[in-house]
Amino acid sequence: MNASLQTHRYLLQFSIKPSVQRTAVMDYLMKNRTHPTIDEIYTALSPSMPTLSKTTVYNTLNLFIERGAVQALVIDEKNARFDVDTSSHAHFICKSCGKVHDIFNLKPELFEIPQHPNFTIHSVEISYSGLCNACKES
């Protein structure tokens, strides 16, 4: 089974030309649902793609977001984080270690877009914060 073939097709759905770099970044996002930062993506891919530039990772993610293939999470004040899962789910950030986790199985009402006279609302982001078990114990 060729994972990058799937990825290839996924990119084409969003009218993104699947270059080697773009396919690698999308592939990484699909296999690593940890909402990685730019730096994590770059560091992970760099060994197998020695000429990869961090600028390319930035460019690639900006393109993915522009085309709607990836969602940028605004939950971590230090770094942008990215999510390929567009289903209704929330996120949790640990204020100690900074890791971001998914929270599924919340009531669907939470993700409804309210009507408002002054705004045209396109999306909602629900972010919880606190401590993860590992950090709480220490």
Partner DNA sequence: TCCTATTTTATAATGAGTACAAAGATATGA
Partner DNA sequence: TCATATCTTTGTACTCATTATAAAATAGGA
**Window 27-66: contact mask with a second copy (x via CB under 8 A):** ----------------------------------------
Q: HSE (CB half, 13 Å, CA atoms) of 98?
A: 9
Applying CB under 7 A, the span of 1-9, 58-66, 89-97, 113-121 interacting with DNA comes to: 58-66
Residue-wise burial string across 13-32, b where 16 or more C-beta atoms lie within 10 A, e elsewhere: eeebebeebbbbbbbbbeee
Check the CA dihedral 34-38-41-47 and report its sign.
negative
* Closer residue to DNA in complex, CB, 42/90: 42
Q: Is 73 in the site for DNA (CB under 7 A)?
A: no
Residues that bind DNA (CB under 7 A): 17, 19-22, 37-39, 49, 51-56, 58-60, 62, 77-80
